[in-house]
Amino acid sequence: MLSIVLVLVLASGVIELIIGNYFYDYVIKNDAKDFIPQGVSLDTENPNYEALNWYKNEVKKTLWTQESTDGLLLKSDYLENHSEKTVIIAHGYMGSRQDMGLYARMFYDLGYNVLLPDARGHGESEGDYVGFGWAERKDYQLWINQVIQKKGSDSKIILFGVSMGAATVMMTAGEKLPSQVKGVIEDCGYTTAKEELAYQQRQMFPKIPAIVSIPITSLVTKFRAGYFLGEADALQAVQKSRLPILFIHGTQDHFVPTSMGKRLYAAAKGNNSHNHLFLVSGAEHGEALKKDKSGYYQEVETFLFSIKL
């Protein structure tokens, strides 16, 4: 009888490890994902063609590099606008800096220098896993320091991100940052990697209970990438941060549910009088700027003006 129990326990453990490694490879390893669109098409029929083409082919870009604390070569485009104000823009999951032309143009037109890193494991930056903002927060601290070193101690820095990039800048905001960092704008970021992955699993693999798969995937992630999924916690970060934060979310976001954006704002609301939530009616995930360009621009400008930038 004891031998049967041992066999069942071992078999259960093997099955759990198989599931954990499967989900690690499916979500966290930085292979191309069939459930994520690859890149932004530069099509003249695209209503945003002008801004995308401006970033890709017209504006002068300088390559900046950075070595991460764990030895990865990270790359970034820098757009000089002869200003003391600089925005650091963080792209989304399985994206790259090439996807962020719309946002680069918006901030450039507002008078900002623009720094657009490729997150570790994305674009031209080294790395073989996705950190969901937790590992990346340290990388963005290094980018902040490089801006200050190159542009001077009178720099005024804004952190901006979309989706996973939004989670990244929120987690960065939870760290002790130089006084030159003046604020954060996050667009459709998630509360925690654990909650987001559990939510996605229920949509994509409803027959596999997240209560089983997420903990074992987190354990596999710790062994293979060095962090637990529960550590990637933007909710806790914004609770700690005293920086002003503009939260943006679409009301029809079914990838990172709108409720997450509301919870993030609620967690940070009392920390700074300039914190604000902007909900874009009818916008799906990452589509707020495209859905309401004028409203988006106005909210961003109003927020920056309110913090004297």
Given this model, what pLDDT does residue 5 score? 39
Tokens of residue 223, six digits: 């062994």
CATH number at residue 145: 3.40.50.1820
- Total count of domains within the chain: 1
Q: What pLDDT is stored for residue 36 in this prediction?
A: 62
- Burial class from Cβ neighbours inside 10 Å (0-12, 13-18, 19+) for residue 266 reads middle
The number of C-alpha atoms within 13 Å of 56 and in the hemisphere containing its C-beta is: 16
Residue 236 lies in a domain: yes
Residue 1: predicted pLDDT: 54
Containing domain of residue 64, as a range? 48-209+232-306
Distance between CA atoms of residues 174 and 172, nearest Å: 5
**179 part of a folded domain:** yes
Q: Classify residue 31: in a domain, yes or no.
A: no
Residue 169 lies in a domain: yes
Q: What is the pLDDT along the chain (309 residues), one digit of tens a residue?
A: 545 434 333 434 445 567 778 878 888 888 776 656 555 556 666 777 888 899 989 999 999 999 999 999 999 999 999 999 999 999 999 999 999 999 999 999 999 999 999 999 999 999 999 999 999 999 999 999 999 999 999 999 999 999 999 999 999 999 999 999 999 999 999 999 999 999 998 888 877 777 778 888 999 999 999 999 999 999 999 999 999 999 999 999 999 999 999 999 999 999 999 999 999 999 999 999 999 999 999 999 999 999 999
Residue 183: name the closest of 299, 119, 77, 275 by CA. Answer: 275
Q: Identity (one letter) of the amino acid at 263?
A: R
In a domain, 163, yes or no: yes
Please report whether residue 38 resides in a domain: no
Q: Strands across the sheet with 62-67, in order?
A: 62-67, 73-79, 113-117, 85-90, 156-162, 181-187, 245-250, 276-280
Question: Domain for residue 25, yes or no?
Answer: no
Close Cβ partners of 195 (under 8 Å, ≥ 6 residues apart): 260
Domain-located, residue 190:
yes
